[in-house]
Structure 1
Amino acid sequence: MTDFPWLSVLIALPLVGAVAVALLPRGRDALAKQTAFAVSVVVAVLAVVMATGFDTGGARFQFTETHWWIKQFGVHWALGVDGVALVLVLLSVILVPLVILASWTDADRSGGVDVPPKRSVKTYFALILALEAAMVGVFAATDVFLFYVFFEAMLIPVYFIIGSYGGAQRSYAAVKFLLYSLFGGLLMLVSVIWLYPLSARPASKGGLGEGTFLFTELNTMHVDPTTAKWLFLGFFVAFAIKAPMVPVHTWLPDAAQQSPTGALVLIVGVLDKVGTYGMLRFCLELFPGAAKWATPVVLALAVVSVLYGAILAIGQVDLKRLVAYTSVSHFGFIVLGIFAMTTAGQSGAALYMVNHGFATGALFLLVGFMIVRRKSARISDFGGLQKKAPVLAGLFLVAGLAGLSLPGLSPFVSEFMVLSGTFTRYRVPAIIATAGVVLAAIYILWMYQRTMNGPAGEGTEGILDLSAREKWAVAPIIAVIVVMGFYPQPVLNVINPSVHHTLARLDRPDPRPDVTGNVAENGARP
């Protein structure tokens, strides 16, 4: 089972499906949707089967494949997953078929707005499958150059989806997304290329004696502190844009407002996780000294993201922009946990990536269903939907409560771990970030009150409850949110070994309180 090229198949199958869908005759829209859905289900089933063979007590990277790609430049087709990468791959492939099911009419009427799509229905679903292949590839790549290729490849389908199937200002949003991402990608490319001559240095000078981009070899290399800081910044800025963190977050609200809902779930639910995954994997492990040097500034930016995103979410009048700003706040928590450099903080951050993907995915899907029905995303155009669409209102409430990390729902566990893990080493940032929990209750409950309670808004008279297709698209996500809220341990068992590897590379043992209540490393008194 371990000799089977699982990850290559999970990348190739969606690509083949995308080509097959794209080659269908014009007018075969139903067949295009059915084919895309069938391919995505097969990919999800194969990924789950692969995951059952993951050994939490085995090697760090499993299901590995290593083949020469560009031998002259030390580039390999190298794939493999550790616990963190595995759960993010599963997040990606589980969301895609649900997104396709929920997006059955996205390409027909541009997500509920009165702007006709520029391209055909089959192109939309082909782009979704191509995006799935890139998402699996970016989490599975263990060659840094290959990671960069997938990192940039994700931009292509997202750009065309936003620019061709989005709202009235879709061109502006698509170009802004592309420019931000390309700028970050350019900085990362400089750092990636820089790694090659550093690795080619003789071992006496800290190199490996041979140029390579393999992550498992690069993270044993010694880089002088000044060079490491520049390399760290090149990677970090690219990941901060992708995450997105304040102050390089402004592309997200515009992209969220203009994107078709299904694609938006993948952008915020999965693509943005590439930023935080990259910080955890590459920034911390390739440049541990530089990561410690940058930690005070990163923690400050993370806290600002938590509070700034939450405050701006409260003031939004557009449903999609509101949920987008909540994600800015949530990503602040994730970055906080990563750079706390404790077991609880980093495990909580990795778990938060998964939980946020499902919780925000459900929230965006339900918001999209509301927008399609009302033909508007303005909160003031809703009201009283609870009486007209009780199933929609009930699921919206559960997804919203997950967004504010209610105990019993999955985000609570990860948010608690992040805050407690941060508090053991950095008390002030943890205490300040806790205000984000209070602000989350405000923006979620106020949004629910304005849309679902009170008198019925004008124009909501004919709104219907969720169809069977829409229920099937959302119900599995809600089930995951509830189950993981009560029993997250299986996912943590997969994540924890990878986190221990990262902390060992950082040489940052967990602090523990001494008898006076002060915090000390390794139990030593400060």
Structure 2
Amino acid sequence: MSFPLLTATAVVPALGAIATAAVPAAKRTAAKWLALLVSLATVVLAAVVLIRFDPGGARYQLTESRPWIADFGVRYELGVDGIGVALIALTALLIPFIIGASWHDADSHEGQTTNRRWRPTQGFFALILMVEAMVIIAFAATDIFLFYIFFEAMLIPMYFLIGGFGDRAHAHGEAEGAKQRSYAAVKFLLYNLAGGLIMLAAVIGLYAVTASEMGAGTFSMQQIAEARAAGDFTLAANTERLLFLGFFFAFAIKAPLWPLHTWLPNAMGESTAPVAVLITAVVDKVGTFAMLRFCLGLFPEASAWATPVVISLALVSIIYGALLAVGQRDIKRLIAYASISHFGFIVLGIFAMTSQGQGGATLYMVFHGISTAALMLVAGFLISRRGSRLIADYGGVQKVAPVLAGTFLVGGLATLSLPGLAPFISEFLVLVGTFSRYPAAGIVATAGIVLAALYVLLLYQRTMTGPVEKPEIQRMPDLRLRELAVITPLIALLIFLGVFPKPLTEIVNPAVEHTLSDVRKTDPKPDVPDVPEVSEVEAAK
């Protein structure tokens, strides 16, 4: 039996979370270093997964399959395609930067209680590692029930990270801040639990249909695909549509897609900046990934049926998120609404049903994760210095902290998809893929680019330029060595992938072709006007 590489990639952070939580209360620094070393070990394993994956090979590779709950057809099945590999690599890559940026975020909780067993630092970093383990399993699971368990289970550590370790830079004092953190955590949990319960009903419904059609119920995507190819499994149109809606509803909340998005600004605004990155750059990607793997893979006819509505919702997300970002006074909420707009682009690319659109959507997931991490983490460093999230409390930062202002600018330019930076490639592909099949939708989506430039440049102007009028800004230090170590590699990646995305596109494109074949779609052929033939005599004249 081959080495279970995918399982190991998830087990290492899970065991690291347990070990970090068990570090003695007085050894806070040791717990931080342990968490960082575990996250780096996970990066190594994810790199091995990336190296061993053959883009020209089978659709699902590095597969593992073992009986789990045999009486109900549940198996422990893992396997990755190019999309899953890219997102596992993104997850493993970002966690060390999240941990590095969070180095002192739990320190303020120390000494808040006389309970000697209370170890907030250890608990904080253990929760981050546990989220990483669950997300990796979700990206690798090919058993639907296995995916569902981790899709829901990751809500638990995220709830405590938002509510228990939230942002302390609140304009209305600590008491009001605690209420807002609690509200944001509960809202996050209730929204996602509601989506998960509806998805559970659809999962059970799918199992019942497979039992009726195939003689034995199964949750295995590969078994369902094989039965469908052999003609042993078909879904009635209405049944398929209902099951699709059950899955899509849960994924649209996780993504999030308008109008199911309202939990995200609260959750990101009340979290620490690194936890906000964990939410939008890692956890939320599970929703858009699942649309590709499960909605399109399991319910191709229903996906085509729902496409006009989904594209409409995606366009509303793009414009709505961008407009609300323009009007924000809170830095982190501005980035949250910008992310809602970006997720609209991702969903638009997925349901454009073209190779450029879906390839661009997959690249968008990866590049948005890196660019949002860069911008939000620099914003977190800025907020920790001033103690305020309000844009009006800043001004002239570039005069006293030029490196901080410069990295903030690069993160912002990546967010607005400036050519030469990685997000431009993905956004361009999404728009090209959308234009080729839905020109009107492509035109509307283009307005999101203009609005993105507006909210990013206004944010930079109001916070970084102008005179230094506030004493807190005059005393503001520039980025420290640890902070530079967090931000510099992210900016380097944005530039490198912006000029040379080929290593990633080679991995992603074959998986996109498989997804398009699931929904029986091909790229539309360009309209070329007929050119009348010219005779040799006329040509000679």
Question: What TM-score do the two structures reach when normalised by structure 1?
Answer: 0.94
What CA distance in whole angstroms lies between the structure 2 residues aligned with 1:397 and 1:338? 29
Look up the SS of the partner of 1:147 in the other structure: helix
Distance 1:290 1:476 in 2: 42
**Separation in 1 of the partners of 2:224 and 2:482?**
47
In the other structure, the counterpart of 2:63 is 64
Inter-partner Cα distance in structure 2 for 1:480 and 1:331:
21
Q: Secondary structure of the equivalent of 2:26?
A: coil
Residue equivalent to 1:499? 512
Residue 464 of structure 2 aligns with which residue?
452
Aligned to 2:433: 421
Write out per-residue CA displacement over residues 259-305 of structure 1, whole angstroms, 9 at most, x where no aligned residue: 01111111100111111111111111111111111111000000000
Is the partner of 1:80 in helix, strand or coil? strand
Aligned partner of residue 77 in structure 2, secondary structure = strand
User: CA contact under 8 A between 1:362 and 1:478: conserved in structure 2?
Assistant: yes
2:203 aligned residue (192, 195, 206): 192
Per-residue CA deviation, residues 327-360 of structure 1 (Å, 9 max, x unaligned), is 0000000000000000000000000000000000
- The reply to whether residue 287 of structure 1 matches residue 331 of structure 2 is no
1:111-169: CA deviation from partner (whole Å, max 9, x where unpaired)? xxxxxxx9611100010111110110110111000000110111011001111111311
Q: Secondary structure at the match of 2:257?
A: coil
> How large is the Cα RMSD of the aligned pairs?
1.3
Partner of 1:37: 36
Residues 1:262 and 2:274 are matched in the alignment = yes
Cα distance in 2 for residues equivalent to 1:176 and 1:492: 37
Specify which of 470, 485, 492 is matched with residue 479 of structure 1.
492
Q: Which protein shows a greater Rg?
A: 2
Q: 1:41, 1:285 → 2: CA distance? A: 33
| 412, 415, 419: which one aligns with 2:424 | 412
Matched, 1:233 2:239: no
Partner of 2:191: 180
Determine the C-alpha separation between the residues in 1 that align with 2:507 and 2:132.
22
Counterpart in the other structure of 1:48: 47
**Residues 516 and 457 (structure 1), Cα distance of their counterparts in 2 relative to 1, 3 Å cut:** farther
Cα displacement (A) at 1:218: 2.2
Tell whether the 8 Å contact from 1:249 to 1:328 is kept in structure 2 after alignment: yes
Q: Say if 2:221 is the partner of 1:215.
A: yes
Name the CA distance, whole Å, in 2 between partners of 1:176 and 1:119.
26
Residues 110-509 of structure 1 correspond to what in structure 2 (within 5 A)?
120-167=120-167, 168=177, 169-201=180-212, 207-219=213-225, 220=228, 221-458=233-470, 459-509=472-522
For the residue of structure 1 that corresponds to 2:525, the secondary structure is strand
Structure 2 counterpart of 1:170, one-letter code: R
In the alignment, what sits opposite 1:11?
10
User: Which residue does 1:28 correspond to in 2?
Assistant: 27
Q: 1:346 to 1:164 in 2, by over 3 A?
A: same
2: distance between equivalents of 1:293 and 1:467? 53
Distance 1:457 1:222, change over 3 A: farther
User: Helix, strand or coil for the counterpart of 1:64?
Assistant: strand
Unmatched segments (≥5 aa) in structure 2: 110-117, 168-176, 531-541
Amino acid at match of 2:521: R
For 1:481 and 1:489, the matched residues in 2 are separated by 14
Using the alignment, how far apart are the partners of 2:27 and 2:209 within structure 1?
A: 53
Tell me the distance in 1 between the aligned counterparts of 2:188 and 2:260. Answer: 11
Superposition deviation, residue 460 in structure 1? 1.1
Contact 1:410 1:484 in 2 (8 A): yes
Deviations 1:202-227 (A, max 9, x none): xxxxx333211011122333211000
Instruction: For residue 298 of structure 1, give the secondary structure of its aligned residue in structure 2.
Output: helix
CA distance in 2, matches of 1:395, 1:208: 56
**Cα contact 1:70–1:76 (8 A) shared by 2:** yes
SS across alignment from 2:388: coil
Q: Which moved more, 1:123-132 or 1:160-169?
A: 160-169
Deviation, 1:79, is 0.7
What amino acid is aligned across from residue 166 of structure 1 in structure 2?
G
- Deviation for aligned residue 1:457: 4.1
Alpha-carbon distance in structure 1 between the residues aligned to 2:469 and 2:365:
36
The share of aligned pairs that are identical, in percent, is 55
Moved over 3 A (4+): none
- What's the secondary structure of 1:316's corresponding residue? coil
Is residue 277–residue 376 contact of structure 2 (8 Å, CA) maintained in 1? Answer: yes
* Aligned-residue offset at 1:495: 0.5
Q: What is the CA–CA distance in structure 1 between the aligned matches of 2:253 and 2:185, rounded to whole Å?
A: 15
Once the two structures are TM-superposed, the CA of residue 474 in structure 1 deviates from its matched residue by 1.1
Find the counterpart in structure 2 of residue 521 from structure 1: none
Conservation of the 8 A alpha-carbon contact between 1:152 and 1:185? yes
Measured in 1, the distance between the counterparts of 2:305 and 2:354 equals 16
Letter in 2 for 1:343: S
SS of 1:212's partner is coil
One-letter amino acid of the structure 1 residue matched with residue 198 of structure 2: L
Amino acid at match of 2:390: R
